[in-house]
Amino acid sequence: MNINEIFNTLGSPIVLPVFIFIFALFLRVKPAKAFRSALMIGIALLLINVLVGFFTNQITPSVNDMVSNSNIHLPFIDVGWGAAAAIAFASKVGLMVIPFTIVVNLIALALRLTDTLNIDVWNYWHYAFAGALAAAFTGSIWLGFLAALIEILFSLFLADWMQPSAAKYYGYEGISFTTISSVEYIPYAIAVNWLLDKIGIGKIHLEPKVLKERLQFFGEPAFIGLVIGLAIGLIAYRHSLNTFQSWVTILSDGIGTAAFVQIFPHIPALLMEGLVPISDSLKETLSKRKSTRTLYLGMDTALCVGEASTLTSALVLIPISVLLMVVLPYNKFLWIADLTSFPWFIALMTPITQGNILKNVIIGASYLVIGDLIITKLTPLFTQAAISAGTKLPSGAVGICAGSEGISYFHWLIYHAVANPFTIVLVFLVYAICIWALKHHRNAMYRATGYVANSSDAGNQ
């Protein structure tokens, strides 16, 4: 049994609490208190997995039918993020990714290159995937590890940069988000958000709280979820509206989406019940050392995907992505399995736009125009790596890729960068500039992410 199979068998509700329990003991939290914290976090993660699993199982058939009913025939097939994880853990980088990431993170903390301790062991596979692609592209395992190192360092920087805005918007004090498939889009979202404000789009307020104030019940997250779910179903089954089963599925999509949006916001309180004692112990440890430093616990953006603006924006992007598959002349990739991963794609755009659904959709759709080109270019390399890892191609497919990983400009840039000594130096120069900017222009950097400090926050700036 390899690492990927072990992780998939145990699941994040077991893997992460075990890691957190050990970490809490290291911080000298009493065993009973550490165990309770780990248990609460495990319960919260299990609830998130159950809800996300329920929602994915509910909406995926409609999404698949939407694609198949569009009569799109493309040579590259979306096989989902699981195939990317399999490639990651089948590589030599994957075998060492957990200790490697922990060591890099601890060194970065010691050198004050980051304030984030990434405890989201479950998602370390993203770094291994970057390394596996680079190793396949260059033929060097050492350059594979270099690619993983670069991705780890930039994910920690982006987590630090986004921390105040994301923590304030989503209500997770002392938490930062390190999931590479979310944090990498922060710079792009900031740039496009700035442009949208300049041309006046920012004056159109389509935030859930504004919609609720103006539309009362019809603006509540549950109703918005109902409408979006029904719309997805109607588009998917538009050719069979005369059948009873189609209407059952359409109505189920609506109710299922409404339930997901309504229930999900109640989970963070349970998660924070487990994380707060550990966060407090971390602060106490730093205080005893007379340190004014604040450290954050790096977590998965799965904690954010059920928020009304994030989920609504992601669902609106699904039919848009289907349209883009048809109209973009260079696109050869057929989105299927990872269409339901869009909430992770959107999650850290939402605090930047302050929950503006229209801006989220524009930012997301404009990136997909670029992302479809990247994934079309990346798929042959992914296919080569997947076959080496033992993955079989679906019938009729010329190539395969994971949508959520294939659109990543991070992966694409990094595996090309490590192939040339000049670009390796350039990457680390860019990283040094990023760290310098965050240290010396902290307030301006935070404001760019949508963060506005309260008077009570001033001391943390």
Pick from 154, 155, 157: nearest CA to 178: 155
pLDDT score recorded for residue 458: 40
Predicted pLDDT at 77: 87
**What pLDDT does 290 receive?**
62
Name which of 314, 262, 270 is nearest 46 in CA terms.
270
CA distances from 338 to 21, 56, 139, 318, 331 (A): 32, 10, 28, 10, 16
Residue 460: what pLDDT? 41
Can you give the pLDDT at residue 353? 95
pLDDT along the chain (461 residues), means of 10: 64 80 82 88 85 83 80 83 83 84 94 93 89 91 95 98 96 91 96 95 85 76 85 86 90 90 80 80 72 84 89 90 91 88 94 95 96 94 84 77 92 93 97 97 95 57 40
Q: Token digits for 190?
A: 């900031």
From 151, 158, 149, select the one nearest 115 (Cα to Cα).
158
**pLDDT at position 247:** 92
pTM score = 0.86
